[in-house]
A and B are shown apart, each in its own frame.
Chain A
Amino acid sequence: MRVLLIIPAYNEEKNIQKVVEKVRAYRSRCDFALDYVVINDGSTDNTKQVCLENGIHHIDLLQNLGIGGAVQTGYLYALREGYDYAVQFDGDGQHDPECLPRLLEPLVAGQADFCIGSRFMQNASAFRSTKLRRVGIRFLSWLIRLLTGTRVTDPTSGFRAANRAVIASFTKDYPSDYPEPESIVHLAREKFRICEVPANMFEREEGTSSIRSWKSLYYMLKVSIAILYAGLQRKTGGKISS
Chain B
Amino acid sequence: MSTLLRIELTAFAVLALAVVGYTANRKVVQLKYALIWVLIAAGMIITAIFPELAFLVAALVGIETPSNLIFFLSIVSLLGICFSLTIIVSRQEHQIRRLIQLLSIDHYEWKGTDAFSANHPKKEDKV
Contacts and interface: CB of A to CB of B under 8 A. Distances in A.
B123 A35 contact: no
B117 A33 contact: yes
Contacts of A35: 114, 116-117
B104 A59 contact: yes
B112 A62 contact: no
Nearest to B121: A81
Interface residues of B, number: 26
Contact of A59 (B98, B109, B117, B124): B109
B66 to A, nearest CB: 40
Nearest to B102: A242
B100 A69 contact: yes
Contact of B108 (A33, A36, A62): A62
Contacts of A168: 125
Contacts of B124: 82
Nearest to B95: A240
Interface string A171-194: 100001000000000000000000
Contact of B101 (A54, A73, A81, A82): A73
A43 B122 CA distance: 30
Contact of A171 (B94, B103, B127): B127
Contacts of B123: 80-82
A55 B94 CA distance: 32
A213 to B, nearest CB: 28
Contacts of B104: 59-62, 73
Contacts, number: 89
A239 B98 CA distance: 12
B113 interface: yes
A199 B109 CA distance: 30
Interface string B33-70: 00000000000000000000000000000000000000
Contact of A65 (B101, B118, B121, B125): B101
Contacts of A72: 97, 101
B94 A82 contact: no
A58 B104 CA distance: 10
A2 interface: yes
B105 interface: yes
A56 interface: yes
A72 B97 CA distance: 10
A51 interface: yes
A218 to B, nearest CB: 20
B26 interface: no
B110 interface: yes
B127 A34 contact: no
Interface string A13-30: 000000000001000000
Contacts of A24: 114
Contacts of A171: 127
A36 B111 CA distance: 10
- B95, B102, B112, B118 pick with most chain A CB within 10 angstroms: B112
19 contacts: A2-B117, A34-B117, A35-B116, A37-B109, A51-B110, A55-B112, A59-B105, A59-B108, A62-B103, A62-B108, A65-B101, A69-B97, A76-B101, A76-B102, A76-B105, A79-B125, A242-B98, A242-B102, A242-B127
**Top 4 nearest A-B pairs by Cβ distance?**
A55-B113, A33-B117, A82-B122, A81-B121
Given A33-B117, A51-B110, 4 more contacts: A2-B118, A62-B100, A65-B101, A73-B105
